[in-house]
Every structure is written in structure tokens, then in C-alpha cells.
Structure 1
């Protein structure tokens, strides 16, 4: 009698029912779970991908934290060594930032010109990884590296000349500074950074900004991105008046929050889809209870308890949930691993780009499959499916044997 609910529940699930509508609703329940679970895994993987690309690409190139001085940082070599001694600072390197315009032919584009030291830049940035042929190491004094978006807008290629226009920060009535540069390479991160980035040598940018031997500030690479504010506060507390700092939460924090909020809202929406699929399990089991009333009455007459009857239908509903969830996990994992390639192939086939870097932070659809998310989704889907069996199982246990047999007769 202890194995009776399991044996009969499995038999009910695998047997051909007289009522084809019950079989159809059971199939719909399984399909609903498969679609809900698989879509949720794929979407969560895409959101995880956006989060990863934000950390590794955008924040891998742009400053994670910056320490600056109102008049420019003097003796920046000593300051960089001092900041690097902080336990949460992995690297420190100088930079010079200048806002300007780049002109080529009849096109103009605004840019942020970063002057960097090629020997120290790898300590704080992944910039060299996105430049072909190690162009940063061989960058001449009159050379510039352009973001792919800027180069595309200007229609400029490697080796061509461009004009950099730097406004005079001291007086709005003075003519801007003009300098001619040669494009030494293209920076292609595949993110929004490419649409406004220009990189040149540290001393060249310092001359453009009129800083002399000073630099705009010191860039920091951190062991923990979310400790950026605390690290900056500790560093600045030890500095004299005039120093201040900016971290990534002020420059790109809104983007990170948007990704997190979208991830949560989409996850909630798809969890509701799973809940609807689980509700279909209720409909399926209720119809099975109606269809099997005479069999339930016979089992009760032979000595089966109400708990045995409840167990039969709970096993049946749990099996529907297990099959739908398992198939959904498999399809979701498959989709998460290949969604980037599929979308890229579809873009090539249709000749369009779904994610443009001038509109979205990333120009392609990233994916980061995480086993922990899949296990969480699977567990929630199974629990929802099991909870959906409680009411139909309870209703089956309340079937009166005498009345059911009389109605069947």
C-alpha cells in the first residue's frame, strides 16, 4: 500500500485516457513549463552577459576610479605608488583627459581624448586587448587611436590624418587649439565606449591640455568594484586640500542599475509565465479527477486511504512538472550557450543590426550561462508544479465511493 500512490500515479500519467481533452491540457501544461523555464534561463543568461560585459569591457577600458587635483597632479609617479599600496587597489597609472572635437573631411565628432602611458596602462585597463597589432606600444607622438564608432562616423581608416580641435578652457573668446594627428589604430570594444574615445600618448595630451609635467589624475584598478566609494574616501582622507575623486558609480552607475532592474523585471515576468503553466497542471488534474471518479471509488472500497488517493494525483502532477522542467532546463541551457551566435547569424541573414552601440551599451547580444541560476529556476518550477497538485489531490481524496459508483452506473 505504501508504493500504491507512486505506481498508480505513474500509470495514470502514461496511459491513454478516454477524454482526449485531458491529454491535450496535460501536453499544454508540459509545453508551458518548457517554454517558461527555457525562456527564463536564456533571458537571465543574457542579462548576466550584459552585467559581465559592463564589468569586463566598459569598466575594463574606462576608469574604475580616478583621483584628481584641481590644478593637475604633480609628482604623479610618487602618488601612483602611494595609491597602489592600498590593499584593494590592484594598479595605478596616470592619465590626461581632454575634451575636444575630431574633424576629417566634412565630418566632425566629439571625443574624450585620453593620454596614457603605454607601459603602465595594462595595470589599470584592458585597452591593449582591443587594439590590433599592439598599436598602443608603438604609438608615435603625433598618433592617435580612435574608437571604432568614431572612425566609422568620420569615415577614417588607419594611416589617414585627422584634425583635433581643443577649445581654450581659460577663455571662450580665444580660438581653439588645432593639432593634426595620424590614425595609428582602431579601438574596438563592441560597446558604447567606441563612440567617443580617442587615445594618445601621455605627454602629447598633457601638452594639448597645457599641463606641462602634471597629469589630470591617477586611474585606479580595484579588486572590488563595489568598494570603489570606500576606497576613494580612504585615499582622499590622506591627501591634502585640492584632491578629489570620481568612481564608476557616477560615470556608469545608471547603466549598471538599468541592467539590474531589467533583469529583475524580466525574471518576474517569466516567473509569472511559469506560474501560469503550473496553473494548467491544476486544470489537468481536476479533469483527471472527474474522469477517474469510479476508479477512485473502487480504490477507496478496497482499503485505500484519502492520503493514498492524494498521493496518486500528487505523483501525477509532480511528474508533469518534472518532465516540463527538465526539458526546459535542457533547452534553456542550449539556448543560453548559442543565443549570441544565433542572433549574429540572423543579423547577417537580414542585413540589420539589432543592437547598435550608439543606442545600446553593447553592439552584440552577450550571454553568460550560470548553473546556479538554472538550478534556482528549476527548483522554483518544481515547487510551483507540486503546489499546483494540492487542490486537485485534495478534491480527489474527498470523492465519496458510493456516490461515484452510483453516478458511473
Structure 2
């Protein structure tokens, strides 16, 4: 006979042997529901955690791959930016650096007007701190430097708002106020030819435009907005690195900002959403796991006579308890493992499934003007899979303790008297 005896009996109770009566059928039905609920809860938890990991990855690799970790500014027009860049990049915490001139402006095409962030870049250095080159053709940078027809590179969202595409023309407008007196002056306006429309699939498509360094300087009036963008070794330590670099620079008008100020709210929102959704799905798993309690309680009621016979044959209370723990553990193990497998499959395919559904229905669920990215990302982390499967199984195991204890307390004489 299969040993140990409690596991053998428990597995037979949980197996295919069913009597053709109403009580046995009801027990079987409820047991199946418990297992299905656990499977769905575990699978959903793994998919949700993978999607949240995907959003976190896209923030790090796409959004912060294009935007710098740190930017050091100076309001003086007399700064030697090339020398400052060399000084900053020599720091061991800095991976790379590039000059930038940032201008808040308005883009106009006919009657359409939209605000945007214009970055004046040096094509020779911008690709060292940004992966924007992954979304652009090499000829686009050359078009930015064309003196006869200065070019501009627009995000896809901006291009759609303005109704332009590569080869079209638009105007960039920068308000001009006297910072000393507050008096309004004529706005600075410059015409540009759209060199390329890039699609990064992120929120930056809705706000970012690139022009040549000198063109941005002209738009800014030669003052304000100039700086050096940095990529650092440890993204989460960007603020501390920025403060240390500012202390090492000579006294002047230097100041800085890091990604946590520009995209920190987005990062916090992703982490908060991950925790809240994870908690809610964990509660679903807990509910599904504790459905095992109702299943085993009904099994105990249905098996009163069997329990009494086992006791009269010499089975100890410990063996009876382990019998029903074994039955509940089998339900939990099957539910957690099958749910884990479905969750892994769902995590690996959810991006393509959602994209296919969008294509089939002709709608877009995620838009980069509302969400960080315009598609549903997913990143499977095996440690999360192991954690969720183990949690589902342990919760199911804990849920078996009460009905198993009640089964072990069944009195043989009282149970057989009612048969």
C-alpha cells in the first residue's frame, strides 16, 4: 500500500472516486470551483505583476533612455559648454554628457497651435546620453544642421496634433518677456522643415521636438535654457550625484534638475499602482484559497462515517488530520502550479494579444497623451512567479488546518450512531 497512509487516503478523497449521490456531487462541484478560483487568481497575479514590471522597464529604458538622468544649467551666456561637458564626464559617476539648449515654445501649422519642449542638440554628442538615435534615421541629424532650411524632429503625437509629416513646414514661436521689467516684447518666430517624425511609443511623443543647438539658442534669444545633459551609473542616485557635481563646480549661476523632478511622479505612480493592484489580486488569491475551507468542511461532513471507521481501525487523530491536510494540499498544489503556468503564458503573450485586439477592433486602449506608453508592456520575472505560486500554495495549506482539525475531533461512536 502507498505510504504514508494519511497522504494515500487524502489523495483518494481528492481523486476521481465519486459516489453517485447529491452530496458527493456537490462536494466535487465546490472543490472544482475552489481549484478554478485559485488557478485564475494565481495566473492573474503573475500577469499583473509582469505588466507592472513592464511599465517600470519602459520608464527606465525608453523614457529615461531618451531623456537625461541629470541636467546642469547655467544662465550665463559666457559658459564654455564644451569644457564644462568634459569636466562633468570625467566624474566616475557620470557615464556620458552632451550639450543641450531647452526652450519652451509653441508650434504652429496653419490654425493648429500646440505647446512643446524644444531641445537644441549637438548631433555629435546627443546620442551618447540618449537613445533617440534608435528612433531616427542618421540623415535626420544632418537635416537639423542645414543652414538654408533648418530642420526639426517631432514626436508622433505632436505631428498628429499639427497635422504635419516629414517634409512639411511649421513655425516655432517663443514668447519674449523682459525678465527685468516684465515688459512684453515681440515673440521670436522661426520657420522649420520637419526632418522626421519619431515614434518612441512613450509620452515624449506628445511633447518633444529636436532642433540644432544654434537654432535653439536663437529662439531663446541667447540666454537661459542652456545646459549639459548627463547619464549616470545609478539612476536612483541621480539627485545625490547632481548635488555633488554642483558643489564641485565653481560658484556662479549653476543649478540642476534630475529625472525624479521631471518624471518622478510617473515613477511613483507606477510603483503605487503595482502595490495596490498586487494587493487586490493577492486578496483574490486568498479568497480562492480559503474556498478550500468550505470544500473540506463539506468533505468532513460527508465522510463522517469513513472517519469513524478509520478511528475504530486504529487511525490516530494526527493521521486523520494529515489525511485532510493532504487533500487540501493537493487542491492548492494543482491550482498554484496550473495557475503559474497560465500566468507565465499570459505574461509572455499579453503584449501581442492586446496589440492584436486593438488591430481587430480598430481602437487603441493606451494612448501616450494619457499613459506613459502607447502599448501594454510586459516583463516576466521568475522570482515573482515563484513568490506567487508559493503564496497560493501556502494560503491553501493554511486554509486546510481548520477543517482538518474538525475532522480529527470526530467521535466514532457518535458518527456511527447516526448512520
TM range (shorter): over 0.9
Pair 1:265 & 2:273 matched:
no
Does the 8 Å CA contact 1:73/1:215 hold for their aligned counterparts? no
Instruction: Tell me, in whole angstroms, the C-alpha distance in 1 between the residues paired with 2:139 and 2:9.
Output: 69
How many equivalent residue pairs?
407
Does the 8 Å CA contact 1:76/1:215 hold for their aligned counterparts? no
Which residue does 1:237 correspond to in 2?
247
* 2:190 aligns with one of 176, 179, 187: 179
Instruction: Tell me, in whole angstroms, the C-alpha distance in 2 between the residues paired with 1:88 and 1:372.
Output: 30
**TM (normalized to structure 2)?**
0.94
Instruction: Tell me, in whole angstroms, the C-alpha distance in 2 between the residues paired with 1:266 and 1:47.
Output: 9
Which residue does 1:388 correspond to in 2?
399
Pair 1:159 & 2:167 matched:
yes
Shift of 1:204: 1.8
Which residue does 1:88 correspond to in 2?
93
Which residue does 1:295 correspond to in 2?
306
Pair 1:50 & 2:51 matched:
no
Alignment of 1:6-405 (within 5 A): 6-18=7-19, 19-72=24-77, 74-132=79-137, 134-141=139-146, 142-170=150-178, 172-211=183-222, 216-239=226-249, 240-405=251-416
What's the Cα RMSD here?
Answer: 1.6
Spell out, residue by residue over 1:334-359, the C-alpha distance to the aligned partner (whole angstroms, 9 max, x if none).
11111111111111111111111112
Instruction: Tell me, in whole angstroms, the C-alpha distance in 1 between the residues paired with 2:290 and 2:225.
Output: 64
Does the 8 Å CA contact 2:103/2:216 hold for their aligned counterparts? yes
Does the 8 Å CA contact 2:41/2:285 hold for their aligned counterparts? yes
Spell out, residue by residue over 1:286-337, the C-alpha distance to the aligned partner (whole angstroms, 9 max, x if none).
1111111111111111111111111111111010001111111111111111
Shift of 1:17: 2.8
Instruction: Tell me, in whole angstroms, the C-alpha distance in 2 between the residues paired with 1:285 and 1:58.
Output: 51
Q: Secondary structure, in 3 states, of the residue corresponding to 1:229?
A: helix
Unaligned runs of 5+ in 1: none
Instruction: Tell me, in whole angstroms, the C-alpha distance in 2 between the residues paired with 1:114 and 1:35.
Output: 48
Spell out, residue by residue over 1:55-74, the C-alpha distance to the aligned partner (whole angstroms, 9 max, x if none).
11111112211111132571
Shift of 1:241: 2.9
Runs of 4+ displaced beyond 6 Å: none
Does the 8 Å CA contact 2:177/2:184 hold for their aligned counterparts? no
